[in-house]
Structure 1
Amino acid sequence: MTAFHVMAGADHTFSRPAIRKIGIADLVDALKLGLDDFSEKPSHYVFLCLMYPIAGIALAIWSTDQNLLPLLFPLMSGFALLGPIAAIGLYEISRRREKGLDTSWSHAFDVRFSPALPSIIVAGLMLFGLFIVWLFVAQNIYFIYFGDGVPPTLSSFVSSVLTTPEGMAMMLWGDLIGFLFALVVLATTVVTFPLLLDRDVGVVAAIDASIRATLTNPVPVAVWGLIVAALLVIGSIPVFAGLAVVMPILGHASWHLYRKLVVSEG
C-alpha cells in the first residue's frame, strides 16, 4: 500500500536533486528520443491520448451549448495547463523502456502503484487549481470590456473580439495574463511529475527542482515552452485530432528532458 506522504519523501527528508546546465541541442535530442519512444508502439499511445482531443472537443461543445462562448478560448488554452497530468502515463512508459521493461500500453496505469502517488495527486490538484483561477481571471477580463452580456452566436463573438477596440484590448490583456499563467506552470512543473515518478522526493522538492531547473536554464526552458505551445496549437487545428499524436510525443520527450535536466541518483 502506498504510504501517505506528500511534502517530503518517504524518509521524511527534503532532498534537492542536482540540476544540469543544458542547451538547445538537448531539446532537439529530447524530441528525437520522444519520437523514438512513440514510434515503438504508436497505435497504443495514440489510443492512450485520444482522451485529450476528445476532452477538448467536449469542452468546446459544452461551452457553446451552455452560453459560455466568452470562456471558449480560455478553456481551450487553459486546458493545456493540465498537460503534465495527462502525460503522466507516458512518463511511466518511457521510464520502463529505458529500463528494458515491458512497455505495453496498460503499464501507463502503473502510476497508481507509485509510492509518490499522493504527491502526484497533490501536484495535479495544484495545476487544476491554477486552471480554475485562470478561468476566473479570463471571465473577469471579458466582463471588464463587454459586461455580462453573452454573444448569441460563435460568429458574432469572434466578430466582436476581432473587429472592436474592446475585443482587441481584451485579447491583449488575456494573452499577457495567460502567458504569465503558462510561465508559472512551466517553471513549476518542467520536471515535477517525471521526478516524482522516478524518485519519491515529495511535492515540495519536486517543484523546487523544477524552479531551479528553470532558473539554471532560462533560455532552453523558455524555448521548450514555446515548442510545446506551438505543437499543441498545430495538433489542435484539425479539430483537436492531432493532439492524439502530438501529446504522446511531447509526453515521452518531456521524460527525456527531465533526464537531461536532473542528475540521476548514484
Structure 2
Amino acid sequence: MGWMAFTTLFIFWVWVYQVRLWLAIILQDASFSDFDGFMHTVFFTQEGWIFLTIGTCAGAFLSAVLFSVTVVAMPMLLERDVDFVTAMLTSIRVVRDNPVVMLTWAAIISATILLSLVPAFLGLIFTLPILGHTTWHLYQRAVQPLEDEPISAS
C-alpha cells in the first residue's frame, strides 16, 4: 500500500510541475504580483485562455492515468496478497474492459467531490466514506474472486 501511495504522490508531483512548466512557457511575459493580477491574466487574456486549455487537458490526462491505475488497485491491495504492480495492471485491465462503467464512475466521483467541497469541505466527511465503500463493492464485482473463495450472492 505504501508503494501505491508513492505512485499517487508521484502523479501529483508530475501534475504540479507540469502546471509550473505551462505557466513558465505560456505566461512568461505576463506580469502579476498578486492573486487578483494572476486571475485577471488567466481569465482575461488570450495567453491565459491558452494556459487554461492546455492545463485542463494535461490535468485531465493525468487524472485519467491516476484513476486507471488506482480504481481497483487500492481495494485489491487491502484484500489480497499481491504486489502493487499487479494491482495497478489489474486496475488498468478493468478500466480497459469496462470503459463506459468506469467513465461513469469517474464522473460520479468528480461530481460528488466537487459538491462536497462547496460547504467549506465539510461534505467530504460524508462523501469519502461513501465513495470508499462503493469503490469496494465495485472492486468486488469487477475482479474475479480468488479460487478458494466462495462466490457470494450479494
- Secondary structure (helix, strand or coil) at the match of 1:263 reads coil
Is 1:182 the counterpart of 2:63 in the alignment?
Answer: yes
Aligned counterpart, 2:26:
145
Question: 1:148–1:165: structure 2 CA closer, same or farther, 3 Å change rule?
Answer: closer
Match of 1:194 among 72, 75, 86: 75
Distance 1:132 1:149 in 2: 24
Unaligned 5+ runs, structure 2: 150-154
Q: How far does residue 235 in structure 1 lie from its aligned partner after superposition?
A: 1.2
Is 1:236 the counterpart of 2:117 in the alignment?
Answer: yes
Question: 1:169–1:217: structure 2 CA closer, same or farther, 3 Å change rule?
Answer: same
Distance 1:186 1:148 in 2: 35
Aligned counterpart, 1:226:
107
Question: 1:150–1:133: structure 2 CA closer, same or farther, 3 Å change rule?
Answer: farther
Identity, % of aligned positions: 32
Is 1:254 the counterpart of 2:135 in the alignment?
Answer: yes
Distance 1:256 1:224 in 2: 12
Query: Which is bigger in relative contact order (C-alpha 8 A, separation at least 6)?
Result: 1
- Secondary structure (helix, strand or coil) at the match of 1:212 reads helix
Give me the TM-score of the superposition, normalised by structure 1: 0.53
Is 1:263 the counterpart of 2:144 in the alignment?
Answer: yes
Distance 1:150 1:210 in 2: 44
Q: How far does residue 240 in structure 1 lie from its aligned partner after superposition?
A: 2.0
Q: How far does residue 222 in structure 1 lie from its aligned partner after superposition?
A: 1.0
Cα RMSD (Å): 1.6
Q: How far does residue 145 in structure 1 lie from its aligned partner after superposition?
A: 1.8
Give me the TM-score of the superposition, normalised by structure 2: 0.88
Written as runs of structure 1 = structure 2, the 5 A alignment for 1:33-112 is: none
Q: How far does residue 238 in structure 1 lie from its aligned partner after superposition?
A: 2.6
Aligned counterpart, 1:29:
none
Distance 2:79 2:140 in 1: 10
Q: Are 2:30 and 2:41, in contact at CA under 8 Å, matched by a contact in 1?
A: no
Distance 1:138 1:204 in 2: 27
Match of 1:210 among 81, 87, 91: 91
Q: How far does residue 168 in structure 1 lie from its aligned partner after superposition?
A: 0.6
Q: How far does residue 122 in structure 1 lie from its aligned partner after superposition?
A: 0.7
Q: In the comparison of the two structures, how many residue pairs are matched?
A: 147
Distance 2:120 2:42 in 1: 21
Question: 1:153–1:242: structure 2 CA closer, same or farther, 3 Å change rule?
Answer: farther
Deviations, residues 135-172 of structure 1 (Å, cap 9, x unaligned) = 00111111112228773332222222111111111010
Deviations, residues 192-227 of structure 1 (Å, cap 9, x unaligned) = 010010011111211111011011101111111111
Distance 1:186 1:152 in 2: 35
Unaligned 5+ runs, structure 1: 1-119
Amino acid at match of 2:103: A
Q: Are 2:75 and 2:139, in contact at CA under 8 Å, matched by a contact in 1?
A: yes
